[in-house]
Structure 1
Amino acid sequence: MSQAASPPEQWQQVPLLSEDTQTTALPGRAGGPDSARLEIDGTVYDQVPETGFGMLIAWLAGSGRLVRMPDREPQSVTITAVTATGTASYRVPRTSTDQEVIDEGIEDYLTAADIPNPPRGHRWYQSLPEGHGTLDDAYAHINAALRSAAPDNAATHPRDIARLLTDIVTTLYRQ
C-alpha cells in the first residue's frame, strides 16, 4: 500500500479488503477489547480502536496508511459489576444496540472535529509508524506529544484536538 501523506477526501478512498483476509488476534489492554493485526506486502496494520479519537488519528494518518474490511466478526463487550463485596467482569456478545451507540459516539466526535463520518460496518486497520511495534505504542507517543502541545489540557474540544494532532501524526509517520 502506498503511504499517502494527507487525509483522504472521503473514507471510501480507503482500500476495501475481502472479508476473508487473514488477521492475527492481539490481546487487548486489561479490561479493553481484543484487537487484530494483518500484514499486506510486508506492511503491518493494527486494528483501529472503535473510538472517535482512534478514528480521528486514522483519518489524519491518511488513506495510504489505512485499509478496511467488512465487519462480520462477532464482537463482545465487557461488563463490570461493582458490588459491596468487590467487582466481577464478564464478556457478553455485542448487540446491534451496542454497535449503534459506538457508531454514534464516533460520528459525534468526528463531526465535532469537522471530519466526515466513516461508513459503518467496517473494521479499520492502520499501518504502524516506523519504530512502533503496536498501534498502542504509537498512541502512547501521540498522547505524550498531545500533552506537551497542550500542557494545561487547553485542547478539549475535538476540533482543537484535531488541529494539534495534524502535526503530531504527520511527524510520527515521518520518523
Structure 2
Amino acid sequence: MSKESWSAYMIVEAPPEEACEVSASDHRRFAEVPVSGWHALVLWAIGPAHVIRCLDQRVPEPIRVVCETDGQRSVRVEERTCGDRSAVESEIHEYLMNARVPSQPCGYRWFVEIPSGMNDCDDLLDRFSSSLSEYRGQLMPVEERKVMVTVADLLYRDVKKSESDR
C-alpha cells in the first residue's frame, strides 16, 4: 500500500470510545496509540483506512523530576515545557525520517482500529513487536517499515474483505 501523506488520515471531532461509530453503518473499535517514533511507524504501516486522529486538547500532565545529589534523592513535579514537547517531536521526526516516512503532524491524538480477534491495542502492538523480533540482529527503521507493512496487510486483510462485501 503506497501512502504519500499523513493528510490522508481522517480527522474526527472527538476521541472515539472503545467501540465507536465512525459512520452510521460502520461499527469499529479504536484504541489510542502511544506517542513515539516506533508507534508512528506502526500507524503509517497500517494506513489511513484503519487509523483516525483528533486534535489533542488535553492539558499536558506534569512530569516527575527525580534528582540524586550526594546520595540524597529529591522528587519534584514540573509542568511540561515547549522544549519537552519539541524534544519528543524531534525524536519522532528523526525515527520516521530514517524509515523514509514523512514527518507526522503535531498536535493530534492517534487511534488505530482493532482488528477482529484482538482484545486491545496491546495485542495489536505485540503482533508488530513479535514479528520484528523474529529477525536476528537489529533492523533499521526502513527495514522495520517493510516488515510492519507486511504485518499490517495480514492483520487487516479480513477487515478489507468485509468492507468490500458491504
Please, what TM-score do these two structures have when normalized by structure 1?
0.75
Which ranges of structure 1 fall in alignment gaps of 5 or more residues?
1-5, 25-36
The residue correspondences of 1:22-101 to structure 2 (distance < 5 A) are: 22-23=15-16, 37=18, 39-41=20-22, 42-76=27-61, 78-79=63-64, 81=66, 83=68, 84=71, 92-101=78-87
* Aligned position for 1:131: 117
Give the percent of matched residue pairs that are identical in Structure 1 and Structure 2: 20
Note closer, same or farther for the CA distance 1:140–1:96 as it changes in structure 2 (3 Å cut).
same
* Aligned position for 2:149: 166
Note closer, same or farther for the CA distance 1:79–1:161 as it changes in structure 2 (3 Å cut).
same
Give CA-to-partner distance per residue, 1:86-144, whole Å, 9 cap, x none.
896x7654322211111111111001100011221111111112222211111112111
Measured in 1, the distance between the counterparts of 2:93 and 2:31 equals 21
Q: Which amino acid aligns with 2:153?
A: T
Residue 81 of structure 1, CA deviation:
2.5
Corresponding residue SS for 1:46: strand
Q: RMSD of the alignment, in Å?
A: 2.5
Residue 40 of structure 1, CA deviation:
2.4
Answer yes or no: is the 8 Å Cα contact 1:45–1:128 preserved in 2. yes
Residue 134 (structure 2) pairs with residue 153 (structure 1): no
Measured in 1, the distance between the counterparts of 2:2 and 2:56 equals 22
Residue 79 of structure 1, CA deviation:
2.7
Corresponding residue SS for 1:64: coil
Residue of structure 2 aligned with 1:11, choices 6, 13, 22: 6
Residue 93 (structure 2) pairs with residue 107 (structure 1): yes
Q: Which amino acid aligns with 1:16?
A: I
Q: Greater CA radius of gyration, 1 or 2?
A: 2
Corresponding residue SS for 1:115: coil
Corresponding residue SS for 2:87: helix
Which ranges of structure 2 fall in alignment gaps of 5 or more residues?
159-166
Note closer, same or farther for the CA distance 1:86–1:44 as it changes in structure 2 (3 Å cut).
farther
